């Protein structure tokens, strides 16, 4: 069935049907949730979101867990992240956001081969 532009929906938009397309969407959703958690933590660190309350109690431990692999890699190569001077944004969270975004790109690149 053609849409209002005379093109055929999913196929015209470059989308594919099948298990690989579903897996790609699940990967984007999963990494999107991880990135949302890390961005929310940055907003808490910057003072945009309150650092007390239910939202912060949920986001802070979760974001620490999500950023832990990146902090572990930095510590193993001798770097490590110190606490930010005077509060501010935690560098491990920013590095975690960058790291998980790179991993998402790698996974999507692999999935695009199928």
DSSP string, 36-78: HHHHHHHHHHHTSS-SSSHHHHHHHHHHHHHHHHHHHHHHHTT
What angle in degrees, to the nearest 10, is found between the helix axes of 91-111 and 54-76? 80
Mean pLDDT, rounded, for 14-33? 88
Give the pLDDT score at 85.
55
Ramachandran bin of 78, using left for φ above 0, alpha for ψ from -120 to 50, beta for the remaining angles: left
Q: Quick check: 79 pLDDT over 90?
A: no
- Cα–Cα distance measured from residue 34 to residue 62, given in angstroms and rounded to the nearest whole number: 9
Mean pLDDT, rounded, for 9-14? 50
Give the pLDDT score at 47.
87
Q: Quick check: 4 pLDDT over 50?
A: yes
Give the pLDDT score at 13.
47
- Cα–Cα distance measured from residue 71 to residue 80, given in angstroms and rounded to the nearest whole number: 6
Q: Quick check: 20 pLDDT over 50?
A: yes
Over the chain, what is the mean pLDDT? 84
**31 in Cβ contact with 100 (< 8 Å):** yes
């Amino acid at each position: 069935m053609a849409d209002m532009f005379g093109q055929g929906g999913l196929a015209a938009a470059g989308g594919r049907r099948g298990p690989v397309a579903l897996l790609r969407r699940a990967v984007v959703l999963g990494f999107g949730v991880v990135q949302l958690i890390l961005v929310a933590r940055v907003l808490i660190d910057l003072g945009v979101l309150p650092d007390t309350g239910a939202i912060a109690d949920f986001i802070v431990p979760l974001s620490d867990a999500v950023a832990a692999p990146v902090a572990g890699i930095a510590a193993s190569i001798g770097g490590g992240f110190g606490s930010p001077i005077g509060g501010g944004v935690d560098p491990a969270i920013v590095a975690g956001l960058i790291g998980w975004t790179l991993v998402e790109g790698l996974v999507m690149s692999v999935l695009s081969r199928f």
